[in-house]
Structure 1
Amino acid sequence: MQTTQGADERYPLAELDNLPEDIRAQILEVQQKSGFVPNVFLKLARRPDEYRAFFAYHDALMLREGGLTKGEKEMIVVATSAQSQCLYCVVAHGALLRIFEKSPLLADHLATNYRKAPITPRQRAMLDFALKVSNASHAIEDADFAALHAHGFADEDIWDIGAIAAFFALSNRMANLSGMMPNPEFHLLGRVPREKKPG
């Protein structure tokens, strides 16, 4: 009789106490800021060298100052992750998108059909290109760059769009391979605007 092994049994979340000190410290810092530990950290920490490389590249792309806002970067992640059917990235980055854009609905629209989402023509062009990088990078041509230039994107911005789409293609596939599930906390973040404190 053949039995199936769940992804959490095959690739279990790392135990925080057993991790190298630098990784443990980073994860505890994330926990202090967010109130929980996103599963991506503990799932990838089972291979410390790959964890460090992954998050170094993630931070180089997502924290870099340039022509894209934090919200626009998250739009790329949500739209391309939806195409890859990556539940973890759609839910986790959808939460970040809701927070950065102060919109409880935008992430759901982008994950379902970005072409009908309430975004600007510039952002639509950005996502058209990101999806092409994600799904058909072999077909990229000069006309794709010209379309983005017409919306004011510089070549370095276009690199950022493509690099984020490409990086999260890797992330989506690793999340799906490892059975990474989004933390319940992500589902509620940014859904209801926080009340402003008086004064």
Structure 2
Amino acid sequence: MSQFNIHSIQSAPAGAQALLQGSLKKYGFIPNLHGGLAEAPVALEAYIQLTALFDRSSLSPTERQVVVLAVSAENQCTYCVAAHSTIAKHMVKADPTVVDAIRNLQPLPDPKLDALANFTRNAVRYRGVVRGQALDKFIAAGCSRAQVLEVILGVTFKTLSNYTNHLINTPLDSAFQAESWKQPSQCANKQCA
């Protein structure tokens, strides 16, 4: 049982109410993550701002979803894997085989996206100390040095939500139920932690 509330606009602290109204306008509902982050309006504001900044990166919408899914799977965040699987498949129209490969901790069918996912996983797993093959393969796949730092931005904002979801035990929204996720018990390719 969580010690935290999932706030509505009415129950949220005053500093979060307008932010939740923005979430309602953008998504048509208030995601439970946003309702949970509303407990600390500055945390919700940071999440919204970091999301907007990441959306302005040079990474394509599919590449951004690869990053956030890879971070969330590596951090074992069931909420964010389900949410971003839904976003990737239904809003971004990413290839479902790419999304499913990330969810199952398998190699991606596209070499550039696979290099992106592996670099992202390594950034999370090794707390940003990524050198050697993972970095070399990322650059060799056609990604820029600027994109290395953009991935770190994605890791930053997704870590905020992943850790929040772990702490507050965020219930999965009905909009994301079809993509609910549990971490695979074993990884055939030995890429998981």
The TM-score, its normalising length taken from structure 2, stands at: 0.80
Q: Is the 8 A contact 2:33 2:161 kept in 1?
A: no
In structure 2, what is the Cα distance between the partners aligned to 1:143 and 1:85? 24
* Equivalent AA in structure 2 for residue 34 of structure 1: Y
In structure 2, what is the Cα distance between the partners aligned to 1:80 and 1:60? 17
| Equivalent of 1:85 in 76, 79, 83 | 76
* Equivalent AA in structure 2 for residue 74 of structure 1: Q
Distance 1:91 1:157, change over 3 A: same
| Equivalent of 2:112 in 96, 117, 122 | 122
1:51 aligned onto 2:41 = no
* Equivalent AA in structure 1 for residue 38 of structure 2: A
Where 1:152 maps in the other structure, the secondary structure is: coil
Q: Is the 8 A contact 2:69 2:80 kept in 1?
A: yes
1:160 aligned onto 2:150 = yes
| Equivalent of 1:108 in 76, 100, 110 | 100
Structure 1 stretches (4+) deviating beyond 6 angstroms?
Answer: none
Q: Is the 8 A contact 1:133 1:166 kept in 2?
A: no
Aligned-residue RMSD, C-alpha: 2.3
| Equivalent of 1:182 in 172, 176, 183 | 172
| Equivalent of 1:29 in 13, 18, 22 | 22
In structure 2, what is the Cα distance between the partners aligned to 1:134 and 1:92? 19
In structure 2, what is the Cα distance between the partners aligned to 1:173 and 1:162? 16
Q: Is the 8 A contact 1:79 1:114 kept in 2?
A: no
In structure 1, what is the Cα distance between the partners aligned to 2:152 and 2:65? 13
Q: Is the 8 A contact 1:79 1:131 kept in 2?
A: yes
Q: Is the 8 A contact 1:131 1:165 kept in 2?
A: no
Percentage of pairs with the same residue = 22
Question: Gaps (5+ residues) in structure 2?
Answer: 180-193
Q: Is the 8 A contact 2:57 2:150 kept in 1?
A: no
Q: Which moved more, 1:20-29 or 1:31-40?
A: 20-29
Question: Gaps (5+ residues) in structure 1?
Answer: 1-5, 190-199
Distance 1:139 1:18, change over 3 A: closer
Q: Which moved more, 1:106-115 or 1:80-89?
A: 106-115
Partner of 1:3: none
The TM-score, its normalising length taken from structure 1, stands at: 0.78
Q: Which has the higher helix share?
A: 1
- Residue 22 of structure 1, CA deviation: 6.3
Q: Is the 8 A contact 1:14 1:42 kept in 2?
A: yes
Paired positions, count? 178
- Residue 21 of structure 1, CA deviation: 5.8
In structure 2, what is the Cα distance between the partners aligned to 1:173 and 1:55? 15
Where 2:124 maps in the other structure, the secondary structure is: helix
In structure 2, what is the Cα distance between the partners aligned to 1:40 and 1:186? 12
- Residue 169 of structure 1, CA deviation: 2.6
Q: Which moved more, 1:81-90 or 1:168-177?
A: 168-177
